[in-house]
Copies of this chain bind each other. A is one copy, B any other.
Amino acid sequence: MALTKKPVTGMKDILPTEMQLRDYCIGVIKETYGQFGFHSIETPCVEHMENLNSKQGGENEKLIFKILKRGEKLNLEEARQEADLVDGGLRYDLTVPLVRFYANHANELSAPFKALQIGNVWRADRPQKGRYRQFMQCDIDILGEPSNLAEIELILATTTTLGRLGFSGFQIRINDRKILKAMAAYSGFTEESYDTVFIILDKMDKIGLEGVSAELLKNGFDQAAVDKYLELFKGLKDEQDGISWLAQKLEGFLEEEVQAGLKEIIASVKATKASDFEIVFDPTLVRGMSYYTGTIFEIAMPQFGGSCGGGGRYDKMVGKFTGNDVPACGFSIGFERIILIMLENGFRIPGQPKRCAYLIEKGVSGQELCDVIARAQKAREDGTQVLVARMNKNKKFQKEQLAKDGYTEIEEFYKNPLK
């Protein structure tokens, strides 16, 4: 029976050229984050169904790859519901497993705990171009740090990493869930309607002020509330210091410390950043996940079509596992997006070792073979990559293929006719 050659639907094989870039990026990421005191941890790819379905994952909870129970004989005849068959699933993000990990190991970890996770996650999204059902996420998180030092360090670490990967001229957009809520409250929206309002606000980038206004009205919101809300965004456009202006407008709706906190994050990042980017206050920034409780931020690369990562503060999630809230804040790089951009821009990996190929004629054996291998061993010792292979019948094609794979030197070894 011939077997199936293609990968499973929506997942992909990664070939050497892309893998080399991925390995290089992971190396830079680990080294740079390490310099900021983030240390790697790992959790299993399989997670308890009840944790995945804990309402922390939003829409992702609908996209879980579920795994049949093991260790008991499954009775299909009697199974009436999924829970009779399934008790685990593939993780759809790294945040839920991180929080479980922290709940399980807090006593063994430093406080605050700074974690780096690079790992695959799975989502059964409808397959489409450039979007896969298995993809890598790259998250840093700080647990146990209530002050905005967490946000400052997360933003500096992430932007330094992006800089070292060759990115520049991008934007970090920052907002606070509390500002979003205060603006909605000030305008007269009811608390139950916030989620709907924010989903519409999130489209500002695409449909503009007029579009947001029209869609809010279409959703049946009060004209006065919509007008008051939109006035805030119009007013902000002309302000140099939008945060101060807004804080004054929202007096009575917004805690004083939110303004001071955001300003300090922006000022500190500007003063100490190690790469070329802007950090800007963006009151239209929403971020989808409902678990965020405070600051939210996003990497914007308009030249590459949008967001390349984001994060924020989620102070209530650990409490879901332990009963005791722990302040938490994280930043995730859109790893697959970054790789795609670098590939499309023909990024050249710096400092790669030289690649040599030694092609040996068929029939070269014994001492002659040993001599060639010994020479390769010496070059390897010195850091050169040496491929030792038999010469193919079609030597020309073989050499072309090797050149394509980055082998800049090719030597040929023939059987000694005198022996």
Name A's B-contacting residues (CB within 8 A): 1-9, 11-16, 19-20, 22-23, 27, 30, 34-37, 39-48, 50-51, 54, 65-68, 70-71, 74, 76, 79-82, 85-88, 90, 100-101, 103-105, 108-112, 114, 120, 122, 124, 134, 145, 147, 149, 152-153, 156, 160, 264, 267-268, 271-272, 274, 320-323, 353, 355, 357, 360, 362, 365-366, 369-370, 373-374, 377, 380-381, 383-390, 392, 398, 401-402, 405
Tallying the copies of this chain within the complex gives 2
**B50 and A134 contacting across the interface, CB-CB below 8 Å:** no
Whole-angstrom distance between the alpha carbons of A366 and B268 in the complex?
Answer: 8
**A54 and B323 contacting across the interface, CB-CB below 8 Å:** no
Chain B residue nearest in CB terms to A149: B390
**A51 and B360 contacting across the interface, CB-CB below 8 Å:** no
Question: Closest approach, in angstroms, between the C-beta of A295 and any C-beta of chain B?
Answer: 16
Question: Closest approach, in angstroms, between the C-beta of A220 and any C-beta of chain B?
Answer: 33
**B153 and A388 contacting across the interface, CB-CB below 8 Å:** yes
**B76 and A70 contacting across the interface, CB-CB below 8 Å:** no
Shortest beta-carbon contacts, A-B, top 10: A37-B387, A11-B44, A16-B39, A14-B42, A19-B40, A35-B380, A70-B124, A5-B104, A66-B68, A271-B370
Whole-angstrom distance between the alpha carbons of A19 and B43 in the complex?
Answer: 11
Whole-angstrom distance between the alpha carbons of A31 and B237 in the complex?
Answer: 52
Assess A401 versus B110: contact at CB under 8 Å? Given A4-B51, A85-B85.
yes
Q: Which of B9, B41, B80, B274 contacts A16 (CB 8 A)?
A: B41
**B44 and A8 contacting across the interface, CB-CB below 8 Å:** yes
Assess A13 versus B101: contact at CB under 8 Å? Given A20-B40, A134-B46, A370-B271.
yes
Question: Closest approach, in angstroms, between the C-beta of A31 and any C-beta of chain B?
Answer: 9
**A386 and B36 contacting across the interface, CB-CB below 8 Å:** yes
Chain B residue nearest in CB terms to A34: B385
Chain B residue nearest in CB terms to A114: B387
Question: Closest approach, in angstroms, between the C-beta of A263 and any C-beta of chain B?
Answer: 10
Whole-angstrom distance between the alpha carbons of A273 and B392 in the complex?
Answer: 26
Whole-angstrom distance between the alpha carbons of A360 and B377 in the complex?
Answer: 51
**A15 and B30 contacting across the interface, CB-CB below 8 Å:** no
**A145 and B389 contacting across the interface, CB-CB below 8 Å:** yes
**B147 and A362 contacting across the interface, CB-CB below 8 Å:** yes
Question: Closest approach, in angstroms, between the C-beta of A151 and any C-beta of chain B?
Answer: 12
Q: Which of B76, B145, B322, B390 contacts A147 (CB 8 A)?
A: B390
Question: Closest approach, in angstroms, between the C-beta of A5 and any C-beta of chain B?
Answer: 4
Chain B residues with Cβ below 8 Å from A40 are: 16, 19-20, 23
**B13 and A47 contacting across the interface, CB-CB below 8 Å:** no
**B369 and A149 contacting across the interface, CB-CB below 8 Å:** yes
Question: Closest approach, in angstroms, between the C-beta of A198 and any C-beta of chain B?
Answer: 26
**A370 and B268 contacting across the interface, CB-CB below 8 Å:** yes
Chain B residues with Cβ below 8 Å from A76 are: 76, 79-82, 85
Chain B residue nearest in CB terms to A134: B44
Chain B residue nearest in CB terms to A271: B370
Chain B residue nearest in CB terms to A146: B390
Whole-angstrom distance between the alpha carbons of A100 and B5 in the complex?
Answer: 5
Assess A321 versus B388: contact at CB under 8 Å? Given A16-B40, A65-B70.
no
Assess A373 versus B14: contact at CB under 8 Å? Given A45-B120, A122-B46.
no
Assess A9 versus B122: contact at CB under 8 Å? Given A42-B19, A112-B389, A374-B271.
no
Chain B residues with Cβ below 8 Å from A322 are: 2, 5
Chain B residue nearest in CB terms to A37: B387
Q: Which of B68, B109, B373 contacts A272 (CB 8 A)?
A: B373
